[in-house]
Amino acid sequence: MMLADARTLCPQIRTVPADPAGDIALLEKLAVWVQRWGPWSALDPPDGLLVDITAAAHLFGGEPRLLSDVDAAFVKRGLAVRAAIAPTAGAAWALSHFSAHLAPRSAPVRSILGSDEDAVGRLADLPVAALRLDNDVLTVLRRLGLKRLGDLADIATGAVDRSEAAARDALHRRFRNRKSPSANPLIRLDQILGRVPEPLLPVVPKQMPLVQRRLAEPLRHRSLLDRVVDDLAQDMARELEGRGEGARRLELGMWRVDGEVIVRRLELAAAIREAAHITRLLADKLEDIDAGFGIETVRLRTSWAESLNAVQSDVEHAAERHGTSLAACIDRLTVRLGPHAVRRPVSHASHLPERAQRWRMPLDPNPPLEAVAGFRARPLKILDKSERIAVLYASPDGYPQRFRWRGNVHDVARVEGPERIAPEWWREKSNVRLRDYYRIEDDEGRRYWIYRHGISGDGRGGRPDWFLQGLSV
């Protein structure tokens, strides 16, 4: 329903913006996590997971205990789950979504359909929506009076009555040209009953590069730790080179004897696999490490990698070896100053000077910039916010002769302009005024960039205001 209607019925309702991409990302992570109950899993968007537990239930003490373990694990993570076990994926989906005798949807649900049970009899009372069909197909079935799986199964499989045989033939003719399973209830019914195989795409977790050292004697001194980190960086460089990748994010984990784990993360401006550069950056992250009674395990993991092909040595590659390349410089500044301290300005398609520039990550590609006609030279310094000035002598629409700024009076010696800039009508209110910009120089040789906000008699306010926005050298 519309949000306004929902709030009328329930004023205390809480709403949050939908995030389909985030939901799928969480589902993918859960698909890897649920492989603790079976050798492989598959996604069933938007809110389902399928796990193959063939020959694995006995490891948990049987199927009921396996479902209990599933329920406890999801509840521990704050997630509600409706779980079912069946010989086919379609039957498990139907039981978990539409079993009429199960608890309310907010409560944990556990259903088991044995391989020796009568699947048709067990699923007969479920609605036809349990077949995972398109909405238009469900509408057709309801118009035909087929509301339960049992009704459809009787017509599609074993009718002996002449009228029922005619109904079966009519049903086959209506859906025989529909090859998509979600548009053909006969195919879906056969999949539930195991007569037709249902291919599933398993989720294969990507193994990220990981190297580690288990130490014979715990480390307590920084010099020994630096040596181990350097060895791990070289191992990681070889691992990444073999995969044709470079690291963008590294995680260094250190396990102390007392069980505490220390983790230091490092995010890089560009994909690299230079061991010396990685060692140098990690050294800055180890200044405040407290080894306690000693560190017994050190692990280096690449949690984010990008493709990085081998290239012929050139000036930039040689610079990386000496730590003087642009990416290396940005990485070192980021480690010392923080992840959000290093940015670069890029042009933005806007006529207004304060909107003609934005900040991006140092090595991110430039966004496509639409051509903006009328761009002219701008002052070397533009104030973060325009400052109001008082023009002491000026004709209503003429050049400024003298102005006061920050308590000082400046006599204008030279004037260039005006450059008229219209407001952005698609994002401003209709009463926003024009701007006339002037480049001026005072009698002491200092240059300023000022503008008159509005024109006398434009019908959008009183007398025009004057502002100073930039300084030139």
Q: Report the first-to-last Cα separation within the chain, whole angstroms.
A: 61
List Cα–Cα distances, 102 to 75, 91, 110, 111, in angstroms.
Answer: 18, 15, 8, 8
pLDDT tops 70 at residue 371? no
Of the candidate ranges 40-49, 237-246, 341-350, the one whose mean pLDDT is the lowest: 341-350
Give residue 372's pLDDT band: very low, low, confident or very high (50, 70, 90): very low
- What was the pLDDT predicted at 72? 93
Q: Does residue 102 register a pLDDT over 50? A: no
What is each CA distance from 135 to 138, 171, 198, 349, in whole angstroms? Answer: 5, 17, 21, 45
Look-up: residue for tokens 């603790």? 36
Query: 230 vs 123, which has greater pLDDT?
Result: 230
Specify the range with the lowest mean pLDDT, choosing from 59-68, 263-272, 396-405: 396-405
Type of residue found at 351? H
Query: Residue length, the chain?
Result: 473
CA–CA gap between residue 414 and residue 46 (Å, rounded): 67
Q: How confident is the model at residue 160 (pLDDT cuts 50, 70, 90)?
A: very low
CATH topology of domain 210-315: Dna Ligase; domain 1 (3.30.1490)
Q: Residue 178: pLDDT above 80?
A: no
Q: Which of 71, 124, 123, 136 is nearest to 92 (CA)?
A: 123
Q: Measured between alpha carbons, how far is residue 411 from residues 35, 399, 467, 469 in Å?
A: 78, 12, 16, 18
Confidence of residue 361 (pLDDT cuts 50, 70, 90): confident
| Residue 89 pLDDT | 92
Per-residue HEC secondary structure of the chain comes to CCHHHHHHHCCCCCCCCCCHHHHHHHHHHHHHHHHHCCCEEEEECCCEEEEECCCCHHHHCCHHHHHHHHHHHHHHCCCCCEEEECCCHHHHHHHHHHCCCCCCCCCCEEEECCCCCCHHHHHCCCEHHHHCCCHHHHHHHHHCCCCEHHHHHHHHCCCCCHHHHHHHHHHHHHHCCCCCHHHCHHHHHHHHHCCCCCCCCECCCCCCCEEEEEEEEEECCHHHHHHHHHHHHHHHHHHHHHHCEEEEEEEEEEEECCCCEEEEEEEEEEEECCHHHHHHHHHHHCCCCCCCCCEEEEEEEEEEEEECCCCCCCHHHHHHHCCCCHHHHHHHHHHHHCCCCCCEEEECCCCCHHHCEEEECCCCCCCCCCCCCCCCCCCCEEEEEEEEEEEEEECCCCCEEEEEECCEEEEEEEEEEEEEECCCCCCCCCCCCCEEEEEEEECCCCEEEEEEECCCCCCCCCCCEEEEEEEEC
- Of 77-81, 226-230, 277-281, 390-394, least confident by mean pLDDT is 390-394
pLDDT given at position 105: 47
pTM, entire model: 0.52
Q: Mean pLDDT score of the chain, rounded to an integer?
A: 83
User: Is pLDDT of 314 > 60?
Assistant: no
Widest Cα–Cα separation across the chain: 108
Arithmetic mean of pLDDT, 371-376: 49
Return the pLDDT at 329: 80
Q: Considering the chain, what percentage of its residues have pLDDT values greater than 70?
A: 87
In degrees, rounded to 5, the angle at the alpha carbon of residue 302 between the alpha carbons of residues 206 and 48 is 35
What tokens does 173 get? 């003719």
Whether 291 has a pLDDT exceeding 60, the answer reads yes
More confident residue, 109 or 244: 244
Long-range contacts: 383-392, Cβ < 8 Å, 24+?
Answer: 383/468, 383/469, 383/470, 383/471, 386/354, 386/451, 386/467, 386/468, 386/469, 387/467, 387/468, 387/469, 388/465, 388/466, 388/467, 389/450, 389/466, 389/467, 389/468, 390/466, 391/466
Structure tokens given for 170? 């009519």
Q: Tell me what the mean pLDDT of segment 413-434 comes to.
A: 82
Whether 15 has a pLDDT exceeding 80, the answer reads yes
Identify the pLDDT of residue 373: 43
Give the pLDDT score at 379.
82
pLDDT tens for residues 255-277?
Answer: 999 989 999 999 888 888 999 99
Mean pLDDT of the 231-244 span: 92
Q: Please determine, for residue 159, whether its predicted confidence score (pLDDT) is greater than 60.
A: no
Which position has the higher pLDDT, 374 or 181?
181
Q: What average pLDDT does range 174-187 have in this prediction?
A: 78
The structure tokens listed for 317 are 């590659």
Residue 444 predicted with pLDDT over 80: yes
Q: Which pLDDT does position 394 carry in this prediction?
A: 61
Q: In the structure encoding, which two tokens stand for residue 329, read together?
A: 């410089």
Q: Could you tell me the pLDDT band of residue 84, with boundaries at 50, 70 and 90?
A: very high
- 210-219/295-307 β-pairing: antiparallel
pLDDT of residue 246: 92
Is residue 251 predicted with pLDDT exceeding 50?
yes
The pLDDT, as a whole number, for residue 27 is: 92
Sequence spans of domains, the chain: 20-193, 210-315, 381-471
The predicted pLDDT at position 395 comes to 66
Mean pLDDT of 43-69: 91
